[in-house]
A and B are shown apart, each in its own frame.
Chain A
Amino acid sequence: MKMFIRVLALVLLVLIISHPTADASQVHAELAHGSQLAGGPLRSFELPPWEDVQDVLMLRNYNTKLVVLSTMILGVASGFVGSFLLLRKRSLMGDALSHACLPGIVLLFIIMASAGGSGKSLVGLLLGASLTGIIGVGVVMLISSTSRVKDDAAMGIVLSVFFGIGIAMMTMVQKTPGQSSAGLIDFIYGKAASMVLQDFVLLSGVAVVIAALCLLLMKEFALLCFDQTFGKCIGLPVHLLDVLLMILVAAVTVLGMQAVGLILIIAYLVTPAATARFWTDNLRVMLLLSALFGAMSGWLGASLSALLPRMPAGAVIVLMAAVLFILSMLFGTSRGILKRVISHRQLKIKVGRQHMLRAVYELIELRYKTSAKLSLPNKSIHYANLLSHRTWSAASLSHLLRRGKREDHIEKFDGMHVSLTESGFGEAARITRNHRLWEIFLITHADIAPSHVDRDADSVEHVLSPEMVRELESALEAKIDTQVIPPSPHEFFVADKPEGEKEL
Chain B
Amino acid sequence: MTWMPADTSIVVVGSLCAVACALPGCFMVLRRMSMMGDAISHAVLPGLALGFLLTGSRASLPMFMGAAVMGLLTAYFTQSISKWGKVDRGAAMGITFTTMFALGLLLIVQATDHVDIDPGCVLYGALELTPFNTFGVIEMAGYIIDIPHSAIVLSIVLCMNLGIIILLFKEFKISAYDPELATTLGINAQLMHYLLMAMVAVTTVAAFESVGSIIVIAMLVVPAATAQLLTDNLKIMLVISAVVGVLAAVMGHISAIIVPPMLGFDGTSTSGMIAGSAGLLFMFVWLFAPRYGLVAKLFSSRKIEVPEMVASRDSACPK
Residue of A nearest to B29 (CB): A153
B94: which of A18, A91, A154 is its contact (CB, 8 Å)? A91
Determine the main DSSP class of B at the interface with A: helix
What is the CB-to-nearest-CB distance from B41 to chain A, in angstroms, rounded to a whole number?
A: 10
* Mask: chain A, 119-161; 1 = CB below 8 Å from B; 0 = not: 0000000000000000000000001001111101111110111
Given known contacts A40-B113, A171-B124, A263-B101, A315 and B272 CB-to-CB distance under 8 angstroms = no
How far is it, in angstroms, between the C-alpha of A295 and the C-alpha of B157 when the chains are bound? 44
How far is it, in angstroms, between the C-alpha of A227 and the C-alpha of B32 when the chains are bound? 23
Among the stretches B158-166, B181-189, B263-271, the one at the interface with A is: B263-271
User: Does A168 lie within 8 Å of B106, measured CB to CB?
Assistant: no
User: Does A39 lie within 8 Å of B106, measured CB to CB?
Assistant: no
Residues from chain A with a CB closer than 8 A to the CB of B92 are 274
Residues from chain A with a CB closer than 8 A to the CB of B119 are 189
B38: which of A160, A167, A329 is its contact (CB, 8 Å)? A160
Residues from chain A with a CB closer than 8 A to the CB of B215 are 164
User: Does A86 lie within 8 Å of B278, measured CB to CB?
Assistant: no
User: Does A157 lie within 8 Å of B98, measured CB to CB?
Assistant: no
User: Does B86 lie within 8 Å of A335, measured CB to CB?
Assistant: yes
Interface centre among A160, A163, A170, A264 (most CB of B within 10 A): A160
User: Does B102 lie within 8 Å of A157, measured CB to CB?
Assistant: no
User: Does B109 lie within 8 Å of A271, measured CB to CB?
Assistant: no
What is the CB-to-nearest-CB distance from A183 to chain B, in angstroms, rounded to a whole number?
A: 14
Q: Is B54 interfacial (CB-CB < 8 Å)?
A: yes
User: Does B101 lie within 8 Å of A176, measured CB to CB?
Assistant: no
How far is it, in angstroms, between the C-alpha of A156 and the C-alpha of B80 when the chains are bound? 22
Q: Is A360 interfacial (CB-CB < 8 Å)?
A: no
User: Does A168 lie within 8 Å of B272, measured CB to CB?
Assistant: yes
User: Does A318 lie within 8 Å of B98, measured CB to CB?
Assistant: yes
How far is it, in angstroms, between the C-alpha of A143 and the C-alpha of B226 when the chains are bound? 12
User: Does A94 lie within 8 Å of B94, measured CB to CB?
Assistant: yes
Among the stretches B130-138, B198-206, B217-225, the one at the interface with A is: B217-225
How far is it, in angstroms, between the C-alpha of A290 and the C-alpha of B32 when the chains are bound? 27
User: Does A17 lie within 8 Å of B103, measured CB to CB?
Assistant: yes
How far is it, in angstroms, between the C-alpha of A310 and the C-alpha of B106 when the chains are bound? 8
How far is it, in angstroms, between the C-alpha of A173 and the C-alpha of B110 when the chains are bound? 31
User: Does B98 lie within 8 Å of A153, measured CB to CB?
Assistant: no
User: Does B222 lie within 8 Å of A160, measured CB to CB?
Assistant: yes
Q: Is A376 interfacial (CB-CB < 8 Å)?
A: no
How far is it, in angstroms, between the C-alpha of A311 and the C-alpha of B271 when the chains are bound? 31
Chain B, interface size category, equals: 35 or more
User: Does B54 lie within 8 Å of A37, measured CB to CB?
Assistant: yes
Q: Is A267 interfacial (CB-CB < 8 Å)?
A: yes
How far is it, in angstroms, between the C-alpha of A267 and the C-alpha of B42 when the chains are bound? 13
User: Does B276 lie within 8 Å of A168, measured CB to CB?
Assistant: yes
Given known contacts A149-B225, A153-B225, A164-B272, A34 and B102 CB-to-CB distance under 8 angstroms = no
Residues from chain B with a CB closer than 8 A to the CB of A310 are 109-110
Residues from chain B with a CB closer than 8 A to the CB of A148 are 228-229, 292
How far is it, in angstroms, between the C-alpha of A90 and the C-alpha of B89 when the chains are bound? 10
* Mask: chain B, 254-266; 1 = CB below 8 Å from A; 0 = not: 0010001001011
User: Does B221 lie within 8 Å of A160, measured CB to CB?
Assistant: yes
* Mask: chain A, 238-271; 1 = CB below 8 Å from B; 0 = not: 0000000000000000000000000110110111
Given known contacts A168-B272, A189-B119, A157 and B279 CB-to-CB distance under 8 angstroms = yes
What is the CB-to-nearest-CB distance from B81 to chain A, in angstroms, rounded to a whole number?
A: 7
Residue of B nearest to A92 (CB): B90
How far is it, in angstroms, between the C-alpha of A153 and the C-alpha of B94 when the chains are bound? 15
User: Does A319 lie within 8 Å of B271, measured CB to CB?
Assistant: no
Residue of A nearest to B293 (CB): A147
Q: Is B208 interfacial (CB-CB < 8 Å)?
A: no
Residues from chain A with a CB closer than 8 A to the CB of B77 are 10
User: Does A176 lie within 8 Å of B93, measured CB to CB?
Assistant: no
Residues from chain A with a CB closer than 8 A to the CB of B167 are none
What is the CB-to-nearest-CB distance from A285 to chain B, in angstroms, rounded to a whole number?
A: 18
Q: Is B294 interfacial (CB-CB < 8 Å)?
A: yes
User: Does B269 lie within 8 Å of A168, measured CB to CB?
Assistant: yes
Q: Is A31 interfacial (CB-CB < 8 Å)?
A: yes
Interface centre among B38, B103, B294 (most CB of A within 10 A): B38
Q: Is B35 interfacial (CB-CB < 8 Å)?
A: yes
What is the CB-to-nearest-CB distance from A194 to chain B, in angstroms, rounded to a whole number?
A: 16
What is the CB-to-nearest-CB distance from B298 to chain A, in angstroms, rounded to a whole number?
A: 10
What is the CB-to-nearest-CB distance from A300 to chain B, in angstroms, rounded to a whole number?
A: 14
A161: which of B38, B123, B222, B228 is its contact (CB, 8 Å)? B222
User: Does B279 lie within 8 Å of A152, measured CB to CB?
Assistant: no
How far is it, in angstroms, between the C-alpha of A263 and the C-alpha of B217 when the chains are bound? 15
Q: Is A79 interfacial (CB-CB < 8 Å)?
A: no
User: Does A86 lie within 8 Å of B88, measured CB to CB?
Assistant: yes
What is the CB-to-nearest-CB distance from A458 to chain B, in angstroms, rounded to a whole number?
A: 24
How far is it, in angstroms, between the C-alpha of A278 and the C-alpha of B124 when the chains are bound? 37
* Mask: chain B, 73-103; 1 = CB below 8 Å from A; 0 = not: 0000100110011111011111100110111
How far is it, in angstroms, between the C-alpha of A181 and the C-alpha of B71 when the chains are bound? 32
Residue of B nearest to A31 (CB): B110
User: Does A167 lie within 8 Å of B124, measured CB to CB?
Assistant: yes
* Mask: chain B, 40-74; 1 = CB below 8 Å from A; 0 = not: 00100000000011111000000000000000000
12 more A-B contacts (CB under 8 A) besides A146-B297, A153-B32, A171-B269? A3-B84, A153-B29, A160-B279, A161-B278, A162-B279, A185-B120, A189-B105, A233-B317, A267-B94, A315-B105, A317-B102, A318-B99
A-B contact pairs, 18 of them (CB 8 A): A17-B106, A31-B111, A34-B111, A38-B52, A146-B286, A153-B224, A157-B225, A160-B279, A168-B256, A168-B272, A172-B265, A189-B105, A233-B318, A311-B106, A315-B105, A315-B106, A322-B99, A329-B84
Chain B residues packing against A (C-beta within 8 Å)? 29, 32-35, 37-38, 42, 52-56, 77, 80-81, 84-88, 90-95, 98-99, 101-103, 105-107, 109-113, 119-120, 123-124, 214-215, 217-218, 220-222, 224-225, 228-229, 256, 260, 263, 265-269, 271-276, 278-279, 282, 286, 292-294, 297, 317-319
